[in-house]
Amino acid sequence: MVGTREDVRGTAGAAPALDVERVRADFPLLARTVRGKPLVYLDNAATTQKPRVVIETLLRYYEYGNANIHRGVHLLSQTATEQYERARRTVQRLFNAERPHEVIFTRGTTEAINLVAASFGRRFVGAGDEIVLTEMEHHSNIVPWQMLCEQVGARIRVAPIDDRGALQMDAFEVLLNERTRLVSVVHVSNALGTVNPIARICELAHAAGAKVMVDGAQAAPHLQPDVRALGCDFYALSGHKLFGPTGIGALWGREELLDAMPPWQGGGDMIEQVTFERTTYNTLPAKFEAGTPHIAGAIGLGTAIEFVESIGYPAIAAHEQDLIAFATTAIGEVPGVRITGTAPGKASVLSFVMQDVHPHDIGTILDSEGVAIRTGHHCCQPLMRRLGVPATARASFALYNTRAEVDAFIRALGKVREVMS
């Protein structure tokens, strides 16, 4: 991951070396074969593999500690509650947030964005107001805002990108005005690898009186989402992209905003008092965590974050910088390949098209060679239209990938050309 000073905390100076073989030994699935060949897993932007310590955390909870939280006086419930809230404090540390109750557990980034759209939108967005997005957004950072705009009569404005896939900051700034209520932007593009200058975006948006929501699903595995350094108002991440369980994620929001926002869902634990005539709501974070949460998932997410912290973001960044540079050079020597997304400082995403070969055919042939990549529009159909392609092939790297796997990937691309020529 190539980050900027504003987007990466604690990466100054020489990064410690990452012992990739030792890291790989922590991931059981990486040892398997696919179609008779060693697995080369390069679909990390879709989901990451899970280290043994996370798998064991989930197993230990269900085998020895399964209980509901917050309401029980027995030992199992009290222990599960402490583990759940300890995980919240771990997420708080990852965010560098001031208070643990600013962290809301969700099912993932998609649910977090929907929560903000429904709750913040219901309170603060009205007819004639504007929400600013960018051309590189994932569908989960487009559709919820469209739904809100349809409900309240607001409208979406879209900041363009250039041909490299970088956000055009001059054009973005021009879109901001007194009607702008919110800017919602991806930190790292899942389809391009572009790293957006979040701190500058927040500075400009706040000067216009707008709040900023950041989709950090693709960023959190590569760089620490320091919300105080970034200056945003909301930040969301997904556990399954951060070496944690599926179905769990987190939303950070400024306390004053979360306090002012109405609950999104009603049910148990988010209430203070209920009568048939009137309900009063609980304080943060319970106000936004109705019902029994994904307890095991939250605990597992905490373990995944601790795993990442034990390696260190500087070491991860240095390793991934090496991989993406090596892979970019290598794929440039494959005939007929064109990279989509060449913004400076991009993350560990290598999207490309191959002349006269459909991306799905690329993915199928690579799978026959044991290489797992992603093909399609990557839930970014507006971006694909901007790029002038129906789909791309995407290899995405994580801390456990190696140069040898890049070599295997490039050899498999040679097989594609051989089969399709």
Enumerate the active-site residues.
379
Residue bearing tokens 């030994």: 25
Residue bearing tokens 């900027």: 4
Distance (Å) of CA 6 to CA 115, 200, 203, 260, 414: 27, 9, 12, 29, 39
Cis peptide before 51 (omega within 30 of 0): no
DSSP letter for 29, please: G
Q: Where are the alpha helices (DSSP H) in 126-226?
A: 143-152, 169-175, 198-207
Residues facing residue 339 across a β-bridge: 352
Rounded to the nearest 5 degrees, what angle is found at the Cα of 196, between the Cα atoms of 195 and 200? 140
**What distance in Å separates the CA atoms of residue 400 and residue 42, rounded to the nearest whole number?**
10
Instruction: Classify residue 256 by burial, with Cβ atoms within 10 Å: 0-12, 13-18, 19+.
Output: exposed
Exposure of 25 in the CB half-sphere (CA atoms within 13 A): 4
Residue bearing tokens 């049910």: 267
- Cβ neighbours of residue 157 closer than 8 Å, sequence gap 6 or more: 130, 131, 132, 133, 175, 180
Cβ(166)–Cβ(196) under 8 Å?
no
DSSP letter for 188, please: B
